[in-house]
Amino acid sequence: MRELPVQLATKLYGAAELIADQGLDNTKIDDIAEASGVPKATLYYYFTGKEEILAFLLKDLLMAIAGDVAVAVSGEGPASERLAGVVRAQLGVMLRNPAPCRALVGDLGRATRLPELAAALSAAFYEPVEKLLREGAEDGSLRPAEDPMSEAVMIFGTVTVAGLMEAIMGAHREMETIANGVARLLLDGLSPRTTDATGAS
């Protein structure tokens, strides 16, 4: 895949919506060409096919998430708070880019079969969060995880599905509202808090 001119990349975002709505198969290359204003021949000059176009769009999304997550992870404060920041970061990117998100779910299969993307996802999310969990165990703000990797995966699942649900329905709720709900579930769980000093009623 050749180095992509910025202008072309920009135009392509217009196609994300289309792909998100219809799914990749129902979207003809000619449709993508028309929607983005990039002629078919040019698309084939840069990409080997549809899939690679989708992959480009998704990698872009993952990079955005990776960036914001990285900032949240390496911030100040206890790990638990930074984790809440991670949640906000991911949800923020997702709600700002609903079309690629929908495309991502829609064609997750292809995405996971694209090894480059799996790697990007891991770098964007699992690894930073896994690290964060370990730090939380050290600074005492999070319980020690038996298996930080799979906890990171679960956290990703929780956040992602919450975000997707919102991206698929047309975001009624504020990002902060959703993020609070997610963070509360992840940090405190569903059990009633036992924080009140003496036994309650």
Partner DNA sequence: ACCGAGATTAAACTCAGAGTACAAACCTGT
Partner DNA sequence: ACAGGTTTGTACTCTGAGTTTAATCTCGGT
Residues binding its own copies (CB under 8 A) = 23-25, 80, 83, 103, 105-110, 112-113, 133, 136, 140-143, 145-147, 150-151, 153-154, 156-162, 165, 168, 178, 181-182, 185-195
Helix (H, G, I), strand (E, B) or coil at 37: coil
Task: State yes or no: residue 36 binds DNA (CB under 7 A).
Answer: no
Which residues are within 8 A (CB) of 190 and not within 5 positions of it... i.e. 6 or more apart?
none
Q: Does 42 bind DNA (CB under 7 A)?
A: yes
8 binds, among its own copies, DNA, none (CB under 5 to 8 A by kind): DNA
Would you give the distance in Å from CA 146 to the centre of its chain?
A: 25
Tell me the one-letter amino acid at 10. T
Measured from the CB atom, the residue of 48 and 177 that comes closer to DNA is 48
Asked if residue 193 binds DNA (CB under 7 A), the reply is: no
Residue 48 phi/psi, 5-degree rounding, is -85, -15
The one-character DSSP state at 171 is -
Q: Cβ of residue 19: shortest distance to DNA, in angstroms?
A: 11
Query: Which residue of 1, 6, 41, 200 would you call a contact of DNA, by CB under 7 A?
Result: 41
Closer residue to DNA, CB minimum distance, 53 or 101 = 53
Asked if residue 21 binds DNA (CB under 7 A), the reply is no
Torsion angle of the four alpha carbons 23, 150, 96, 179, in this order, in degrees rounded to the nearest 10: 130
- Which is nearest to 139 in space by CA: 86, 80, 85? 80
What is d(CA 199, CA 201) in angstroms, rounded to the nearest whole number? Answer: 7
- Cα-Cα-Cα-Cα dihedral sign, residues 16, 18, 23, 25: negative
Least distance (Å) between residue 71 CB and its own copies: 20
- Minimum Å distance from CB 42 to DNA? 3
Interacting residue ranges for DNA, rule: CB under 7 A: 2-3, 5, 8, 27-30, 38-42, 44-46, 48-51
